[in-house]
Structures are given as C-alpha cells and as structure tokens.
C-alpha cells in the first residue's frame, strides 16, 4: 500500500537566507497528519544562501544525518569535529547524551542544498558519535546503495536504530529492486528528478509511506536521486 505526500503540500519556512521544505511537522509548521512515520521524524529539504547557516545549537537523543545534494556544508560540533560535507557524503551525528553543533554554507558565492533527516534512537543516553563517509556516484548508479544500518553492514554508517537507509541514482533504462523483509514498513523520498516506483511516477520532493509491500521497483528515472528507508512496522515515532 502506497500513501503519497506530494512535494507541494510540504511545509515551507522562508527566512531569506534559508528556504526549507518540511515533509513532517517541524518548527512553526504543524500538520497533525504529518508528524513522522515509523521511526522517521524529520525530513527537511534545506537551501542555504552563501555564507549563511545555523549557529551553534544543542541536540540530544536523536540520530541526525545530512545528505548534501549541491554545494558544501561546513559542520562543527562540541565533540571537536570539524568537517565539510560535499555531494555524495553522508554525515551521521548520534546526539545521545547531548551535543551542540553548527552548520554553515561553506561557500561565499554558491548556495548549498541538503537534506537534514532525523530518526529516533532505539535507546536514550548513549555516547555521542560522529560519522561521515562518501558514497561515490558509481556506487549508487542504477542501484540502491546501503548508506546507514544498525550493524554497519556493507561499510555503511552505523545508526542507533533498527533502520536501514539506501541511496540510489536512476536515469533512463536503469532499474533496481529492493525486497522488503516481512512485516516491515518503508519510506521513499525523491531528492531530485523523477522516477517510477512500482509503476507510479514520483517527482522531486515527493514522499511515499509504504506498508504491506514485498518489493520496491525503481525505473524510468530522469536525473533521479532517491532515499529509501527500511523501517519498523509502527505508525508514528516514539522516543524510547
């Protein structure tokens, strides 16, 4: 069963330096029908102006990852991490007992476009961790590359939840199939382009809640980039 959220129904926050589309309720945007899915709590599609960004602010007990689509995102945190996140990079910050961080556009002339995604953890009060890895275009071209998993399988980043996240690039005749384990939910987010999912055309920014499906088939992409979440079978995020 597919439940599609169209891109143009998402929340919008426009602060001049930041334009952000919220798939789920976030900040001043609240939709009682969009407060998350399974353990997935936030998908923010952020575009940040040159030299601007989010000043230092705290988080705790949340698995937060950033996925850069265009530009460069500079990250600094209270764990002593300093890095620049580029297209192809996946950055995961497990906030645990508490961490403060800042995120700024690393360029003074070009914008940065990235997704910030939150997944609730399996347990509270863990040791904060930072991970970052580049997944090349070749690894994702015409297939679904595992980028996050609870056990770090296939050289993916290790997330503190029973969730798996895949990234894929599809264009033209490229196709890929993901088999879902029994009694699992899934969520698909189209980061850019268009793609068919089990024959249904999806556009940039669209999202799909998926229940009671055995296979997901991606095809007929047009410069498409997708994220696929394999999730526990419950409806709304619940903190442990």
Q: What is the DSSP letter of 156?
A: P
**If you average pLDDT over residues 207-220, what whole number do you get?**
97
In a domain, 238, yes or no: no
In a domain, 176, yes or no: yes
Would residue 92 be called left, alpha or beta, if left means φ above 0 and alpha means ψ between -120 and 50 degrees? beta
Cα torsion at 172, 173, 174, 177 (round to 10°)?
130
Instruction: For the chain, give the percent of residues with pLDDT over 90.
Output: 100
Report the number of distinct structural domains present in the chain.
1
CATH number of the domain to which 178 belongs: 2.60.120.10
Per-residue model confidence as pLDDT tens digits over 47-98:
999 999 999 999 999 999 999 999 999 999 999 999 999 999 999 999 999 9
Look at residue 46 in the predicted model and tell me its pLDDT. 98
In a domain, 15, yes or no: yes
In a domain, 237, yes or no: no
**If you average pLDDT over residues 198-210, what whole number do you get?**
98
In a domain, 131, yes or no: yes
In a domain, 240, yes or no: no
Q: What is the residue range of 29's domain?
A: 2-231
**If you average pLDDT over residues 114-134, what whole number do you get?**
97
Look at residue 228 in the predicted model and tell me its pLDDT. 98
Check: CB of residue 126 under 8 Å from CB of residue 62.
Answer: no
In a domain, 239, yes or no: no
Look at residue 181 in the predicted model and tell me its pLDDT. 92
In a domain, 196, yes or no: yes
């Amino acid at each position: 069963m597919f439940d599609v959220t169209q891109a143009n129904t998402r929340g919008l926050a426009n602060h001049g330096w930041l334009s952000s589309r919220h798939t789920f309720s976030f900040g001043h945007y609240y939709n009682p029908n969009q407060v998350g899915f399974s353990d997935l709590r936030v998908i923010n599609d952020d575009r940040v102006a040159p030299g601007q960004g989010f000043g230092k602010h705290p988080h705790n007990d949340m698995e937060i990852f950033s996925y850069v689509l265009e530009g460069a995102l500079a990250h600094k945190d209270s764990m002593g991490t300093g890095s620049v996140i580029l297209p192809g990079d996946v950055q995961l910050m497990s906030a645990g007992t508490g961490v403060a961080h800042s995120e700024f556009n690393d360029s003074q002339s070009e914008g940065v476009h990235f997704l910030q995604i939150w997944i609730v953890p399996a347990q509270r009060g863990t040791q904060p961790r930072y991970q970052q890895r580049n997944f090349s275009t070749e690894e994702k071209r015409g297939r679904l590359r595992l980028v996050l998993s609870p056990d770090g399988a296939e050289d993916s980043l290790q997330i503190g939840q029973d969730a798996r996240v895949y990234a894929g690039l599809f264009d033209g005749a490229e196709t890929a199939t993901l088999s879902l384990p029994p009694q699992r939910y899934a969520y698909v987010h189209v980061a850019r382009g268009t793609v068919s999912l089990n024959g249904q055309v999806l556009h940039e920014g669209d999202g799909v809640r998926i229940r009671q499906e055995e296979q997901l088939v991606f095809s007929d992409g047009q410069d498409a980039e997708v994220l696929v979440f394999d999730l526990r079978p419950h409806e709304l995020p619940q903190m442990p």
